[in-house]
């Protein structure tokens, strides 16, 4: 009887590990920018930043812009914040540049505290219904998209971004190139 229980436990363990490997391999094969966004351009979105400024596709048309989805409780989002801040500081005065952070699954007071504590200076909006994230096809956070002036998403990734990657993506967007 003990031998049978051990074999069952071993088989369950093997199945769990195999399932984990399949999930990990599938996740790596996801395109950096969902095909829907690549083929049809940036989804329409309308959000209001914490400071009251409104952002939507129409107001950003003609600029290369970054959309970063994050949460205050997300550890990779916190790790990415210094790179985002350095990148924003470098480009905030560029006339053809904009950046917006969109928060999902968080409340306004928590985000205001996060923004103040982390000295975030780029515009941050809360998508209370999460519709903006759904429209972009986000699968987690942080998730970042770089949109070309013509409205087509050219670069992006799930996971923390680096200043170097953001600079490369912005240059590609400005040149109308797709990231590979």
Provide the pLDDT for residue 28: 38
Q: At what angle do helices 163-174 and 75-91 cross, to 10 degrees?
A: 50
Provide the pLDDT for residue 31: 41
Provide the pLDDT for residue 128: 75
**Displacement of CA 176 from its chain's centroid (Å):** 20
pTM, to two decimals: 0.78
Provide the pLDDT for residue 26: 41
DSSP string, 42-62: SPP-EEEBTTS-EEEHHHHTT
Q: Which sequence spans correspond to the domains of the chain?
A: 1-30, 31-174
Q: Does 31-174 carry CATH code 3.40.50.300? A: no
Tell me which residue of 90, 66, 70 sits closest to 78, measured CA to CA: 70
Provide the pLDDT for residue 44: 84
pLDDT along the chain (180 residues), means of 10: 70 60 42 48 85 89 94 94 97 97 90 94 90 86 92 88 95 84
Provide the pLDDT for residue 170: 96
């Amino acid at each position: 009887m003990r031998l049978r229980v051990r074999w069952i436990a071993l088989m369950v363990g093997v199945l769990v590990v195999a399932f984990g490997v399949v999930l990990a391999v599938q996740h790596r094969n996801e395109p950096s920018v969902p095909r829907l966004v690549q083929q049809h351009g940036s989804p329409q979105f309308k959000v209001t930043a914490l400071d009251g400024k409104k952002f939507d596709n129409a107001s950003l048309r003609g600029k290369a812009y970054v959309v970063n989805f994050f949460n205050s409780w997300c550890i990779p989002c916190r790790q990415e914040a210094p790179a985002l801040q350095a990148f924003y500081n470098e480009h905030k005065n560029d006339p053809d540049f904009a950046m917006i952070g969109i928060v999902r699954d968080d409340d306004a007071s928590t985000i205001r505290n996060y923004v103040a504590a982390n000295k975030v200076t780029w515009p941050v909006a809360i998508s209370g219904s999460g519709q903006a994230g759904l429209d972009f096809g986000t699968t987690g956070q942080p998730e970042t998209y770089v949109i070309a002036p013509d409205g087509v998403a050219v670069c992006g990734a799930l996971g923390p971004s680096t200043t170097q990657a953001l600079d490369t993506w912005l240059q590609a967007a400005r040149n109308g190139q797709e990231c590979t």
